[in-house]
Amino acid sequence: DAKTTQPPSMDCAEGRAANLPCNHSTISGNEYVYWYRQIHSQGPQYIIHGLKNNETNEMASLIITEDRKSSTLILPHATLRDTAVYYCIVRPLNSNSGYALNFGKGTSLLVTP
């Protein structure tokens, strides 16, 4: 799987948008960009994934550059409960694949009042 690079930490004020960047310059054509987060003392939680188009769900938006070498996860109105470590992961999409996730160090997001 392609390697990802994320800033180790970021701060965001409550109610503002949190924009978390990720570089994945070696991503291959069949690899998707996934985002997970891990709130303290819990198992990781799926947020969103995408291939090349921008994606939005009830939790977040994912913006992928045209060359697919980087992406940004956007939490539009961050709350204190969004304080977590956010992991950007690239992997092939394969339903019922059994492909494990290769976690990097992630970005520790702190949302402040």
Partner 1 sequence: SAVISQKPSRDICQRGTSLTIQCQVDSQVTMMFWYRQQPGQSLTLIATANQGSEATYESGFVIDKFPISRPNLTFSTLTVSNMSPEDSSIYLCSVSRAYEQYFGPGTRLTVT
112 by Cβ neighbours in 10 Å (0-12 / 13-18 / 19+) ranks as exposed
Residue type, 111: V
Q: Is 52 in the site for partner 1 (CB under 8 A)?
A: no
Q: Toward partner 1, which CB reaches closer, 5 or 77? A: 5
The minimum distance between CB 23 and partner 1, in angstroms, equals: 17
Q: Are 80 and 73 contacting, i.e. CB atoms less than 8 angstroms apart?
A: no
Q: Is 104 in the site for partner 1 (CB under 8 A)?
A: yes
Q: Toward partner 1, which CB reaches closer, 13 or 56? A: 56
Q: What is the CA radius of gyration of the chain?
A: 13
Please report, as ranges, the residues that interact with partner 1 according to CB under 8 A.
32, 36, 41-46, 49, 85, 87, 93, 95-106
